[in-house]
Structures are given as C-alpha cells and as structure tokens.
Amino acid sequence: MHETLVILAVLVLTAGAGLGLAAITTGWIVPGPGRAKVLRPHVWGYGTLVAMAGSGTFLFVGPLQGPDMGHFPLAISGMAVFAAGLYIQRQAVKPG
C-alpha cells in the first residue's frame, strides 16, 4: 500500500508542477470556472510551484516516511511553504 501512495503522490506533484510551469512559460491555466478569476497567470504558476514543493516536502519527510518523529519540524515547515504557495496564488487574482 505504501508504494501505491508514493506513486500517487509523485503523480499529483508532477502534474501540479507541470501546470505551474505551463502557467509560467505560456500563461496557460487549466480551463474551468476559476480561470476567469486569475488575472496574473505567471504569478499563479509560481505559487503552484511553491505549493507543490511544500506539499512534497511534507509528504515525503512526514507521513510517507514512516512513524519516525525526528523530521517533524521539517515536515511542518513543508506545510508552511505550502501555505506560502497558496498565498502567492491568492495574489494572482488581485490586479497588479
């Protein structure tokens, strides 16, 4: 089961990073109802990359590593980086 969760986490993080890179390089965002709200797609892409980095740090240093609590502060700092990425994404819906 652990291998399945690791594979799913890698797929989700890779997809998120790919969408972030697409937004940075081309300004393209996935079609949907939230697309019209994003005024600065490049900023949204940077926020997505930061959020994926924080989420990946949290997952692979924290829950997916095992019951060892030695890396707990690093896992929590990954969540803080994830929250910073969400803040950057929130700035993308505000006018520049």
Tokens read off for 46: 């940077």
d(CA 60, CA 8): 12
Q: What is the pTM of this model?
A: 0.90
pLDDT of residue 90 exceeding 80, the answer is yes
Q: CA–CA separation, 48 vs 55, rounded Å? A: 10
Q: Which two tokens stand for residue 91?
A: 């700035």
Q: Which two tokens stand for residue 71?
A: 């890396």
pLDDT of residue 54: 96
CB contact at 8 A, 23 and 29: yes
Instruction: Give the model confidence (pLDDT) of 43-87 as tens digits.
Output: 999 999 999 999 999 998 888 777 777 888 888 999 999 999 999
30-34, 43-47, 89-93: segment of lowest average pLDDT: 30-34
Cα-based torsion angle of the residue sequence 16, 17, 19, 23 in order, rounded to the nearest 10 degrees: 140
96: pLDDT strictly greater than 80: no
Instruction: Grade residue 41 by pLDDT with cuts at 50, 70 and 90.
Output: very high
